[in-house]
Amino acid sequence: MQDSNTIGGKDVAVHLHSYTNLAALPSTPPLVIVKGDGIHVVDDEGKRYVEGMSGLWCASLGFSNKRLADAGTQALNTLPYYHTFNQRTNPAVVELAERLLKLAPVPMSRVFFANSGSEANDSAVKMVWYYHNAIGKPEKKKIIARKRAYHGVTVAAASLGGLDANHRDFDLPLARFLHVDTPHHYYGAKPGETEDAFSTRLAEGLEQTILAEGPETVAAFIAEPVMGAGGVLVPPAGYFEKVQAVLAKYDILFIADEVICGFGRTGNMFGSTTFGMRPDILTCAKALSSGYVPISAVMVNAKVYDAIAANSGKIGTFGHGYTYSGHPVASAVALETLKVYEDEDILGNVAKVAPVFQAAARAFANRPMVGEVRGVGLIGAIELVADKAAHKPFAPEQKVGYRLAALALEEGVIVRAMGDAIGLCPPLIISAEQVTDMFARLARAFDKLEAEMLAKA
């Protein structure tokens, strides 16, 4: 039980935690983070950690960027709030939308703003439905996502997702949300199947699902370029090319969820560029503001926008938007974030450091418990397995991944266990030396885990 005089103890008594094992919480003290400093965060006992996950895949500029703090302060002192309903706007949101349209990986027409990745994806779903009503295809409403996808936790976003914990006991997914197979070659491919052949089979599976449902009922397909919370799954060769050919054949809209991959993570400004994706709708959040303020965006192409706008002319109002859509403070901080990416050539740093990061991660492939190391740019994962030769996972109740993450924490590096996939997604400002230090800490955690497992065996 917690000491009720500590922050952790008080927390447990009053705070309903996000995404936490609530039954175990009283006996497992929460980590109290009080300060940030570059790629590090500091706990209430003064211990410093390398934040190998940028928080929740978001703090791309680390935890102490002064320009962002100043931009937010200035915005708070100028116009702390205004809305964008009923033909209202503000200078920051206009400049932000202009910049986003310039950065977009494919031609986009308009930007809608929300506060989180979940809201952005919910908005995308509603726009897809609205669009099909507008063009006179009201029966075309089903949305196809992938098993192990993560698109957020609001009712529609959680329905898009393909992770059991987000559905189980919440009576989700809603009707009209379907899930096709995960593009994870390591576990999904048949013996000897090449990545390209695996991609062909997945695209055929998608087509079969569409035909079984009736193409006239299928509205959109949504995909993260790299599946993040599902375990950092990099698409196999040819995957998006083959999938997009199927979508085009049946006139199905393509939504790219760039909430993690957007803004440099995979080496290009957007993951869509890295993987040849040509979305009609693109959602982004997280690194849009380096996580400093809640803001997300939905970019839509002219095909979608023009239909939506024409229909709202008919009925009077596009009845969607949030109190904080285009919030002036959030917009100002996001705008400054995009300026920092350009001024400080953050993509240049990713280009320089990513090879060091990927090589250091791949060095773990020689370890006895590592089945696969995967990644691109500055995102990666190390998959722990019980049997390397047989691609056999550990039993989930062994919680091997969680144990490794706990040992890593002891070594002063924060990583994320997604089952037995150990995720890494450090701030994009990380240096090559810091990458080396991060992996040295992780290696010490691995050494301890291997010793523990040997002792048990």
| 62 scored as a contact of ligand PMP (CB under 6 A) | no
Strand partners, 144: 178, 221
**String of contacts with ligand PMP for each residue 130-159, x by CB under 6 A:** --------------------xxx-------
Strand partners, 256: 223, 282
From CA 176, how far away is CA 159, in angstroms rounded?
9
Residue 149 or 350: the one with the smaller Cβ distance to ligand PMP is: 149
Across the beta sheet with 296-300, what order do the strands follow?
Answer: 110-114, 296-300, 281-284, 253-257, 218-223, 142-146, 177-180
From CA 387, how far away is CA 46, in angstroms rounded?
39
| Amino acid letter, 119 | E
| 381 scored as a contact of ligand PMP (CB under 6 A) | no
Min dist. Cβ of residue 350 to ligand PMP (A): 18
Please pick, from the candidates 118, 274, 290, 434, the single residue that binds ligand PMP as defined by CB under 6 A.
Answer: 118
Min dist. Cβ of residue 17 to ligand PMP (A): 14
Please pick, from the candidates 252, 259, 300, 413, the single residue that binds ligand PMP as defined by CB under 6 A.
Answer: 259
Q: List the Cα angle 96/102/105 in 5-degree steps.
A: 115
Min dist. Cβ of residue 368 to ligand PMP (A): 31
| Amino acid letter, 270 | F
| 55 scored as a contact of ligand PMP (CB under 6 A) | no
| 182 scored as a contact of ligand PMP (CB under 6 A) | no
Q: Kindly determine how many residues on this chain lie close enough to bind ligand PMP according to the rule CB under 6 A.
A: 16
| Burial category of 311 from C-beta neighbours within 10 Å (exposed 0-12, middle 13-18, buried 19 and up) | middle
Strand partners, 112: 298
Neighbours of 192 (CB within 10 A): 6
Residue 407 or 417: the one with the smaller Cβ distance to ligand PMP is: 417
**String of contacts with ligand PMP for each residue 206-225, x by CB under 6 A:** ------------------x-
Helix (H, G, I), strand (E, B) or coil at 221: strand
Work out whether strand 177-180 and strand 218-223 pair parallel, antiparallel, or are unpaired.
Answer: unpaired
Please report, for residues 202, 235, 277, the alpha-carbon distance to residue 238 in angstroms, rounded to integers and kept in the order given.
11, 8, 11
Q: Which residues ranging from 228 to 247 are in contact with ligand PMP (CB under 6 A)?
A: 228-229
Please pick, from the candidates 38, 62, 117, 328, the single residue that binds ligand PMP as defined by CB under 6 A.
Answer: 117
| 383 scored as a contact of ligand PMP (CB under 6 A) | no
Please pick, from the candidates 233, 252, 285, 438, the single residue that binds ligand PMP as defined by CB under 6 A.
Answer: 285
Please pick, from the candidates 41, 220, 260, 430, the single residue that binds ligand PMP as defined by CB under 6 A.
Answer: 260
Q: Residue numbers of the site for ligand PMP (CB under 6 A)?
A: 56-57, 116-118, 121, 150-152, 224, 228-229, 257, 259-260, 285
